[in-house]
Amino acid sequence: MAVSDYTGQAALTAVDLVNSLDVITGRDRLRDGEDAAALLARHHWEVGRTVSAADLERLRELRPRLRFVFGGTPVQKSVADLNALLRDLRAQPHLTDHDGAWHWHYARPRAPLGERVATSCVVALLTAIADGGAGRLRICDGADCANVFVDASRPGLRRYCDTKSCGNRAHVTAYRERKRTRSVG
């Protein structure tokens, strides 16, 4: 799955939304409309105004409904639940060229921002399942990390949400353990 395309950006939006609530510490990085606007801007969403309280609440409510598809939920359950969420959102797929290139939108025309984001994220995760399999929707293997990610690597073997932090810590820990084991033996 290409993360640079329209659907890929929506999948990355879903990942960042889910990860905006640290399930280990309870820290919420989606505290207000400014936080939501910044998260969406990173993924090229046209916010155009302050994120409303209703849109912020929709995004917060979406997080646990998306988190479950990462990390081994049976694919049939993931698809059924995501399809149910699409029905709840009253998805209305339509083709548009508003930005000069034809692409799909899934939310009803003139839907509130939170609904547009939610619908696009759900469709992106369903597309990821269809294109690469549910096994590419993962939870980080890092100690003390429960972040989710989409494994878009060619071999599909990525284990960490971020190789610079979680991956590096795991490799340093493994190195130190090997070194300690060699010095004992």
Residue 74: CATH number of its domain:
1.10.3300.10
Residue 93: the pLDDT is: 93
Q: Is residue 81 part of a domain?
A: yes
Q: Which of 59-63, 79-83, 172-176 has the lowest mean pLDDT?
A: 172-176
Residue 90: inside a domain, yes or no? Answer: yes
What domain range is 67 assigned to? 6-184
Identify whether 1 is part of a domain. Answer: no
Contacts of 11 (CB under 8 A, 6+ apart): 1, 3, 121, 124, 125, 127, 128, 150
Mean per-residue pLDDT, 141-148: 93
Residue 25 is assigned to a structural domain of this protein: yes
4, pLDDT greater than 60: no
On whether residue 74 sits in a domain, the answer given is: yes
Separation of alpha carbons 1 and 151, rounded Å: 9
Res. 143: pLDDT tops 80: yes
Q: Measure Cα distances from 175 to 57, 157, 163, 167, 181 in Å.
A: 44, 20, 16, 12, 10
For 93-104, the pLDDT digits (tens) are 999 898 888 888
Residue 39 belongs to a domain: yes
Q: What pLDDT is attached to residue 164?
A: 80
Contacts of 19 (CB under 8 A, 6+ apart): 147, 148, 161
Structure tokens at 42: 């990173």
Q: Express each pLDDT in 12-31 by its tens digit.
A: 999 999 999 999 999 999 99
State how many domains the chain has: 1
pLDDT of residue 109: 87
Exposed e or buried b per residue across 17-44, where buried means at least 16 C-beta atoms within 10 angstroms of its C-beta? bbbbbeeeeeeeebeebebbbebbeebe
Q: What is the mean pLDDT of residues 155-178?
A: 75
